[in-house]
Amino acid sequence: MDWLDIPTLAFVAQFASIVSLAVFVYLWRNNPQVRAFAWLAACSLSMCLGIFLILGLRFLPVTFCILSGNICLMYGGVMLAHGTRLLYLRPVNLLYWLTPLPMLCFTGYFTLITPDVSARVVIYSATAVLLTGYFAYELRRPLHPAGSNARIVLLTVASIDIAINLLRVWLTLVHPQHQGLLTSVGSNATALAFLNALLYLSLLPLGFMMLNDERLQLHLQHQADHDDLTQLLSRRAFMEQAEQTISHALQRKHSATLAIIDLDWFKQINDGYGHLAGDYVLALFARTLLRETRGSPVLLGRIGGEEFAVLWPGLTAKEASIHLYRLQNSLKSSPMEWDGIPISLTFSSGLAELNDNQQKFDTLYRHADAQLYLAKENGRDCLSGV
């Protein structure tokens, strides 16, 4: 790569980092609730400063530029992994923030005590491989269930970055570097570094813009499929997904149980305490239902005003009833309150189990609905069809 002018490559990479920063700031300003974009903007800013400090080797104290430049570049990689992690709604991983510390210690040693450009290049590249590996690991699952083109772009960028940094390590070990980083020609490892930065900082914003588009599509799909008040599946979405679940259960010859739940005397709550109290009770009941059915594969939906549906694939009616009895006990042991006034809430439920006589979801639903009416006729606050 002797024909490459390294300072020119460095300036082009610096321009790419500024463009990357502008894109992430734009995404952050348009999605202020998504903290991930703030971290990605900080990542681009950190990398921009890192490249600027490397370019400043000719004009600023060398030791200052090397140490502070490496800090900015390494923690830019950490912020990238952290921002990606937040975009997938995962908690902070402290290991990511500690990873650059050994590199910085060795960089200080090979800068202040035993100056060695090759050693610094090898240490930097090895750490960069590790940090990019963290970034790739955070992309292990697609954000959108239907797949993700953005994930392919970002994983491609990560793979190229890892490959180039490993190549830099090999080149440096085979041909140790004795000149400064910004010699105009003659350093394949340094030229690779700035070419990699140019590619990395150009494609990274594109990948995240695509990922943001997928995130928005997922959000809109969630709003269309879920009830605003309870955040359970809407009637239409529940019916569609339940029909697919029953079809899969029949193909695999698995059991499945449908329960339809109706809150007892709910009209009295609306009339006695107001519709805000009714909404509060519905939302709190939905949260309780979610908690008490956790741990089993289940579909939950609000299919009417105070009517809910639960489908347990793989469970018999007797096994599913355990969850409903637990729900009953939870409501009785922790009564709801509205403006300091306790509200006693019970429910009636009808269950129907998939069997040879009920080979379709519609049949299963009609049977569960009939069992619900039997539960109401039996005095409410009970289950029928177990």
User: Looking at the annotation, which residues are catalytic?
Assistant: 306
DSSP string over 135-153: HHHHTSS-SSTT--HHHHH
Between CA 97 and CA 79 the distance in angstroms is: 9
Between CA 279 and CA 338 the distance in angstroms is: 11
Strand partners, 358: 355
In one letter, which amino acid is 261? I
Residue entry with tokens 């709190």: 284
Between CA 117 and CA 356 the distance in angstroms is: 75
Between CA 143 and CA 76 the distance in angstroms is: 23
Residue entry with tokens 């952050």: 28
In the numeric block, which tokens belong to residue 148? 């993700």
Between CA 201 and CA 381 the distance in angstroms is: 61
Between CA 35 and CA 91 the distance in angstroms is: 12
Between CA 148 and CA 277 the distance in angstroms is: 42
Q: Name the E strands within 248-378.
A: 256-263, 299-302, 307-313, 336-338, 341-343, 347-353
Residues near 293 by Cβ (< 8 Å), separated by ≥ 6?
300, 310, 312, 323, 327
Q: Name the E strands within 208-306.
A: 256-263, 299-302
In degrees and rounded to multiples of 5, residue 60 shows phi and psi of -115, 165
DSSP H helices, 31-99, are 35-55, 62-87, 94-98
In degrees and rounded to multiples of 5, residue 259 shows phi and psi of -125, 135
Between CA 232 and CA 304 the distance in angstroms is: 12
Q: Give the rounded distance of the alpha carbon of 155 from its chain centre.
A: 16
